[in-house]
């Protein structure tokens, strides 16, 4: 974990090193001042030597100014190092997430990843700055002050050793309990963020069903759990302050009482008033340093859970990688499934079982089946969004695992079941398919997807702004824009995963006719619930519970496949509830 986190300090290691150096310089200057003050009292005030007072006073001013400069530089360097480190962590996590396969992404919730990139990184940033400055300053100050105190009077200085041991034992008892509560609290942050995310993204459904009170209660429950855990941790941490203060005041009383007796007993010779003032100053330095150390431990304790969570994302490696000598060109859109089995989890059940298909390049294949029959799972194996559990999937006669991932996915265009548009203009959204596409390319793709007719009616045309998620266009318009975006890739394989469900049948027919005319060499997979969307396909695949129930031309299936027959009859006779009919099989 530490090695992973240290790797992201690159670019800020020099100022990270300069920060503790400045802190040490500040401490040295601070430790000189009490010694100079004792000299002023003993050799200046009692001796009546004004010249000595002025000279030593000048030294004290110089030491204070130099210490101030070191402190300011340490603060500046520490702030830059910690904020830069936080930037590196967020950037590294974001880049690593982009490489994740679907199997990797399934391990984390969206809310969990957001928490890691915000709250957890902020905790690490604060801890890093604290460690660069106080983690060096506090122990150094304590050790130097202890050394200076022992040079003055070892007997009195031994009081500090007892105090240090006592406080170390107290911290050792408090920290493990605090750590446990903080770890639980940060895990609950994921639930809190998930509650917010679900409410905001589904706000229309929440309002349509008048569930605002329910969502508020759910958020209150999540935030209350976080509050309770943090409150328990804070209650334990609060013991730190009275223990520290009690120890400080006890040390001051003992030093003052024993020191005063030594002054009286020696007649202000072997132990002087100046020595006592220095001892009291060093006492405050030592015990203040101990309080700083306790604060550091609290901060590190809070951030330790965050460190593990961030390192977990950074160490996560994609389950899909290129082979040693990947193929860099896809020859054609021919597809072969050879006895393919697939499951999402190693200990789960097969989602697809013994799929064996041979599809020629340029064919149009319709896929139908009831909900949960693994239609989407099947086509996700083509661009290698998941790897097969058993068997082989080939594109262009080559195993998909032998391709360069970017090359393969550029040759396969998918219009997913859940259409996503991004904030920006229509043209910017379309160029996700091909960033170098010309304006004419955009218009041609939109004509094929029958999207040009509504785009041209918009006042700004292709410069019309799309809200995040495409909330300012209808479902059918969103689907047609996503199809146009996919066509801009000029793919060898085009997958339409129930992507014309919100389009009327006439427009659906126009889109299919455009495919046959404009992209005859592209292999097209059409997942649909409507028979009209697949009845003109070269072949239709019928899936039932992850197994092939039938494969052939629509005419053949209409004669010999009971599932296809039932769906066809239910829809042509006016009842289009596929799931209700198909669910009987």
Cβ 332 vs Cβ 407: under 8 Å: no
Cα 445 to Cα 91, 141, 306, 341, 434: the distances in Å are: 34, 70, 46, 36, 11
Tokens coding 93: 């996590």
Instruction: Determine how β-strand 364-369 pairs with β-strand 539-544.
Output: parallel
Burial of 583 (0-12, 13-18, 19+ CB in 10 A): exposed
Tell me the fold of 2-315.
ABC transporter transmembrane region fold (1.20.1560)
Residue whose C-alpha is closest to residue 143's, from 244, 285, 294? 285
C-alpha span between 364 and 554 (Å, rounded): 12
User: How crowded is residue 302: how many other Cβ atoms within 10 Å of its Cβ?
Assistant: 23
| Nearest 10 degrees: Cα torsion 342, 345, 351, 352 | 0
- The residue written with tokens 């992507």 in the block is 499
Residue whose C-alpha is closest to residue 229's, from 281, 280, 277, 177? 177
If you ran DSSP here, which 8-state letter would residue 341 be given? Answer: E
pTM for this entry: 0.68
Outline where DSSP puts E strands in 333-481. 335-342, 352-359, 364-369, 390-395, 398-399, 412-415, 424-425, 465-466
573: which residues sit within 8 A by CB, 6+ positions away?
none
Q: What is the pLDDT of residue 574?
A: 53
CA 85, 90, 91, 95 torsion: positive or negative? Answer: positive
Tokens coding 80: 């830059």
Q: Write down the H helix ranges in 488-573.
A: 505-518, 531-534, 554-560, 562-572
Cα 520 to Cα 220, 233, 433: the distances in Å are: 56, 66, 19
Spell out the domain ranges in the chain: 2-315, 335-417+492-582
Tokens coding 32: 């000189």
84: which residues sit within 8 A by CB, 6+ positions away?
11, 12, 15
C-alpha span between 477 and 23 (Å, rounded): 62
Tell me the fold of 335-417+492-582.
Rossmann fold (3.40.50)
| Nearest 10 degrees: Cα torsion 464, 468, 469, 473 | -30
Tokens coding 561: 């496949």
| Nearest 10 degrees: Cα torsion 305, 307, 308, 310 | 120
Put residue 366 in one of left, alpha, beta given phi > 0 → left and psi -120 to 50 → alpha. Answer: beta
Cα 263 to Cα 154, 259, 430: the distances in Å are: 15, 6, 87
User: How crowded is residue 360: how many other Cβ atoms within 10 Å of its Cβ?
Assistant: 14
Q: Write down the H helix ranges in 471-561.
A: 475-487, 505-518, 531-534, 554-560
> In b/e form, how buried is each residue of 320-342, taking b as 16+ CB within 10 angstroms?
beeeeeebeebebbbbbbbebeb
The partner residues of 534 in beta bridges, in order of sequence, read none
C-alpha span between 279 and 275 (Å, rounded): 6
The partner residues of 358 in beta bridges, in order of sequence, read 336
Tokens coding 394: 């080939």
C-alpha span between 366 and 228 (Å, rounded): 54
C-alpha span between 536 and 546 (Å, rounded): 24
pLDDT tens across the length of the chain (585 residues): 778 888 888 889 999 999 989 988 888 888 788 778 878 877 777 777 888 888 888 988 998 999 899 989 988 999 999 999 999 999 999 998 888 877 778 778 777 788 888 888 988 998 888 888 887 788 887 888 788 788 888 888 888 788 878 877 887 787 777 777 777 777 777 777 777 777 777 787 888 888 888 888 888 888 888 888 888 887 887 787 788 778 878 888 888 888 888 888 877 677 777 778 778 877 777 777 777 777 777 777 778 778 888 998 898 888 778 878 899 999 999 999 999 999 888 777 889 999 999 999 999 999 998 888 888 889 999 998 888 999 999 999 999 999 998 899 889 998 877 778 888 899 999 998 888 889 899 999 999 888 888 898 888 888 999 887 777 888 888 888 998 998 888 889 999 888 777 777 788 788 888 888 888 889 999 998 888 888 888 999 999 989 999 999 999 998 988 988 888 888 877 544 444 444 333
């Amino acid at each position: 974990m530490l090695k992973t986190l240290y790797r992201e300090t690159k670019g800020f290691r020099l100022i990270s090193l300069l920060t503790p150096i400045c802190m040490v310089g500040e401490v040295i200057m601070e430790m000189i001042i009490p010694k100079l003050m004792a000299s002023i009292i003993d050799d200046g005030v009692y001796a009546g030597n004004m010249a000595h007072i002025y000279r030593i006073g000048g030294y004290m001013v110089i030491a204070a100014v130099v210490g101030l400069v070191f402190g300011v530089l340490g603060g500046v360097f520490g702030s830059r190092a910690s904020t830069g480190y936080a930037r590196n962590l967020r950037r590294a996590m974001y880049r690593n997430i982009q490489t994740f396969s679907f199997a990797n992404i399934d391990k984390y919730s969206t809310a969990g990843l957001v928490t890691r990139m915000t709250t957890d990184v902020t905790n690490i940033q604060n801890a890093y700055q604290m460690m660069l400055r106080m983690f060096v300053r506090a122990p150094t100050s304590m050790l130097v002050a202890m050394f200076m105190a022992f040079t003055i009077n070892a007997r009195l200085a031994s009081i500090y050793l007892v105090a240090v041991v006592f406080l170390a034992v107290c911290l050792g008892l408090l920290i493990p309990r605090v750590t446990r509560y903080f770890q639980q609290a940060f895990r609950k942050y994921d639930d809190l963020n998930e509650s917010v995310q679900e409410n905001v993204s589904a706000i229309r459904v929440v309002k349509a069903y008048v569930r605002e009170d329910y969502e508020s209660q759910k958020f209150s429950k999540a935030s209350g759990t976080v509050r309770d855990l943090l409150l328990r941790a804070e209650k334990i941490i609060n013991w730190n302050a009275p223990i520290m203060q009690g120890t400080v005041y006890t040390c001051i009383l003992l030093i003052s009482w024993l020191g005063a007796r030594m002054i009286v007993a020696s007649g202000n010779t072997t132990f002087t008033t100046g020595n006592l003032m220095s001892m009291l100053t060093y006492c405050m330095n030592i015990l203040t340093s101990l309080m700083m150390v306790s604060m550091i431990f609290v901060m590190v304790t809070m951030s330790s859970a965050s460190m593990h969570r961030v390192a977990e994302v950074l160490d996560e490696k994609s389950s899909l990688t290129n082979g040693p000598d990947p193929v860099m060109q896809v020859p054609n859109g021919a597809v072969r499934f050879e006895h393919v089995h697939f499951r999402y989890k190693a200990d789960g059940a097969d989602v697809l079982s013994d799929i064996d298909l041979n599809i020629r390049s340029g064919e149009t294949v319709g896929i139908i089946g009831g909900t949960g029959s693994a239609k989407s799972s099947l086509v996700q194996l083509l661009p290698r969004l998941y790897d097969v559990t058993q068997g082989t999937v080939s594109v262009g006669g080559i195993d998909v695992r032998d391709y360069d991932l970017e090359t393969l996915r550029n040759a396969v265009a998918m219009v997913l079941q859940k259409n996503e548009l991004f904030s920006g203009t229509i043209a910017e959204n379309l160029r996700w398919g091909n960033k170098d596409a010309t304006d004419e390319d955009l218009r041609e793709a939109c004509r094929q997807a029958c999207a040009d007719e509504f785009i041209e009616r918009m006042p700004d045309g292709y410069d019309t702004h799309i809200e995040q998620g495409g909330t300012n266009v209808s479902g059918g318009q969103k689907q047609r824009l996503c199809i146009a975006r996919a066509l801009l890739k000029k793919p060898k394989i085009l997958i339409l995963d129930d992507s014309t469900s919100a389009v009327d049948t006439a427009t659906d027919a126009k889109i299919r006719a455009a495919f046959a005319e404009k992209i005859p060499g592209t292999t097209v997979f059409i997942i649909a619930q409507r028979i009209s969307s697949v009845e003109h396909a070269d072949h239709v695949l019928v899936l039932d519970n992850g197994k092939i129930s039938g494969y052939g031309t629509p005419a053949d299936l209409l004669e010999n496949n009971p599932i296809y027959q039932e769906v066809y009859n239910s829809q042509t006779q006016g009842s289009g509830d596929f799931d209700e009919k198909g669910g009987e099989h």
